[in-house]
Amino acid sequence: MKPSNLLSRALPLIVATLVTRCISIDTGNETMWFAPDCSPVPGFEHHGSSHFSVIAQDLDRTISFYEKAFGFRLVFIFSPIPEYKAAYLGHNRGNYPSCQAWAGSAVEETGQIEILWLENASSKLPPTTKEPNTFSHIGIYTPDVAAACERVAAQGGKILKPKGEWIESLESPVAIAYGLDPSRIKNLSKEKRAALLEGLKNPVVGFNNYCFATDLDGNILEIQPTVL
């Protein structure tokens, strides 16, 4: 399909989306608003986001970290040259009988992690907990947040906020990874900063039930409870 064709098809959809979004904003409750329509979007059946990807310093240790902390399975490793590898991990919710069968459908599975690795890389990348960038965090769910957090620590991850506590400061690695680092919040008044911290305690978000931790490269994991 020509791009102009694509745009003319997509434009009504984009405009319709914007219009419904605008009228749905509930100014009576600035903390949270719900869009009016969450039904499947016609024409976008079989669409979805399948994975996120991180760049790791140590491939084997990072694979082991995600396996042991969260029960991920290694599905395959793609390696166009021995010095560069991409490992794919996920949870076998599709009940695939083999890793080959899973790999054949991996693009359609959700929530997978891809770990990229370059042997003897000549520079180390700063994680978002140190230097904010457009990647914020990885959300993972588990029936037992505290136990998962303990496993993260046992595998060499760092616990930034255990379950049961609130985010109490904007001067923290969590704040940096959430785009609230000191260099970006200069335009927020003292009162706004205090209101922001207080607002994060809204029960609808449930931050106190989450554990915030890092993986081996310092990426933030937002570990949330499964709704059973």
Ligand X SMILES: *[C@@H]1O[C@H](CO)[C@@H](O)[C@H](O)[C@H]1NC(C)=O
Q: Are 70 and 140 in contact (CB under 8 A)?
A: yes
In angstroms, the CA 200 to CA 206 distance is: 8
Q: Which residue has the tokens 């970006």?
A: 184
Strands (E), the chain: 51-55, 73-81, 84-90, 112-118, 137-142, 158-161, 211-214, 220-225
In angstroms, the CA 127 to CA 56 distance is: 10
- Stretch of 28-36, 62-70, 143-151, 193-201 contacting ligand X, by CB under 6 A: 28-36
Q: Which is nearer to ligand X, 39 or 120 (CB)?
A: 120
Q: Which is nearer to ligand X, 108 or 198 (CB)?
A: 198
Q: Are 182 and 169 in contact (CB under 8 A)?
A: no
Strand 220-225, strand 137-142: pairing: parallel
Burial of 187 (0-12, 13-18, 19+ CB in 10 A): exposed
Q: Which is nearer to ligand X, 204 or 228 (CB)?
A: 204
186 contacts ligand X (rule: CB under 6 A): yes
- Stretch of 27-35, 44-52, 102-110, 165-173 contacting ligand X, by CB under 6 A: 27-35
Rg, Å, the chain Cα set: 20
Q: Are 145 and 118 in contact (CB under 8 A)?
A: no
In the region spanning residues 111 to 150, those forming contacts with ligand X, defined by CB under 6 A, are: 119-120
Smallest gap from Cβ 157 to ligand X, in A, equals 26
Q: Which is nearer to ligand X, 4 or 122 (CB)?
A: 122
198 contacts ligand X (rule: CB under 6 A): no
State which of residues 49, 187, 189, 226 lies at the interface with ligand X (CB under 6 A): 187
Smallest gap from Cβ 82 to ligand X, in A, equals 8
Q: Which is nearer to ligand X, 153 or 188 (CB)?
A: 188
83 contacts ligand X (rule: CB under 6 A): yes
- Stretch of 24-32, 132-140, 160-168, 218-226 contacting ligand X, by CB under 6 A: 24-32
Q: Which is nearer to ligand X, 5 or 31 (CB)?
A: 31
32 contacts ligand X (rule: CB under 6 A): yes
- Residue whose C-alpha is closest to residue 198's, from 173, 176, 169, 221: 169
| Residue ranges in contact with ligand X by CB under 6 A | 29, 31-32, 83, 119-120, 186-187, 204
